[in-house]
Amino acid sequence: MENPNGLPSMSMTEYKTKRDSCRQKIASKYDILGFISSGTYGRVYKAKSKNKNDGKEYAIKKFKPDKEGEAATYVGISQSACREIALCRELHHENIVGLQEVLLEDKSIHMVFEYAEHDLLQIIGFHSHPERKFMSEYTIKSFLWQLLNGVAYLHANWVMHRDLKPANILVTANGVVKVGDLGLARLFYKPLQPLFNGDKVVVTIWYRAPELLLGSRHYTKAIDIWAIGCIFAELITLRPIFKGEEAKVENKKTVPFQKNQLQKIFDILGLPTKERWPTIDQQPEYPNLSSFRSTPNVLRSMYQSWQIKSEQGCNLLAAMLEYDPLKRITAEEALNHPYFQEDPKPGLE
């Protein structure tokens, strides 16, 4: 049977069989060395290229196929996977994890990334052991500067990460920081839909900025800087600075008021006022602040009890943990902060 163009026609089944036979299989290109981690998106594996001219190790992120109904009908590639693929293909920077290629096999998307041996969560956990020491200021400063450098690149290209936390900050054996997991990242320059319409909850609770906790629907790249401030403090103390308990989402249409997490923030930074944050009364959850008692800002006195004594370090941390997102320091400004001009200057170990 021929089609109108005079070419042999084939059934959809024949077409799919031929198409799939032309695709390269994961096993033909990579040896799977082991399992790294898993999440709601799928699983990540450590692999090694079979190409003798390459021979490098990679991280292969296998997404679960999107499916609907009890019969598990496959409906396509998830929005998160599409977003991450689109962004990673365009982003090229030393401090952003590099995408090698994308492969489709068995209805699952596989993203092949450059491999990093560690992440900040593992490193913090390692140093948290009672018999081990705190991280050196040189190491902390190096990690922080590289993290800011990667995020400054994202922001310069109109990308918000929206899920910065220690587990998503990768570190190679050579000490190079790689910002990873862009599954929640979004373009903030003329987005196709308002940011709030897509993901009702962004950023893991301990690293979530106050404007998000107060229900802001028009947040900015400043939410990433707040998260970096939380990570900075955690690198110094080896524990989360604002370790609250998350109020669980009961249905997808409403986001619960995160009173406990806000209390953890207010205990250290004090209760925000209109003097400190002039537009705070425009936040949807602002009326709920009346249930909190007024407390002083004790960040500086807390910082003085930590092992890093640099006043400029405290100034930078305070600038990152500024309540008002309009006053919060930017990634580019932070890179040029006096803290990084002091000894020990940041570098790679």
Amino acid letter, residue 238: L
Amino acid letter, residue 144: L
- 163 catalytic, yes or no? yes
Catalytic residue among 20, 119, 163, 281: 163
The answer to whether 221 and 320 are in contact (CB under 8 A) is: no
The candidate with the shortest Cα–Cα distance to 201, out of 261, 252, 154, 266, is 252
Strand arrangement of the beta sheet that strand 118-119 belongs to: 118-119, 169-171, 177-179
Residues 6+ apart with CB under 8 A from 273: 280
Alpha helices in the chain (DSSP H): 12-22, 26-29, 79-88, 120-127, 137-156, 195-198, 210-213, 222-237, 259-269, 299-304, 311-320, 331-335
* Beta strand pairing call for 30-39 and 73-76: unpaired
Residue positions annotated with a catalytic role: 163
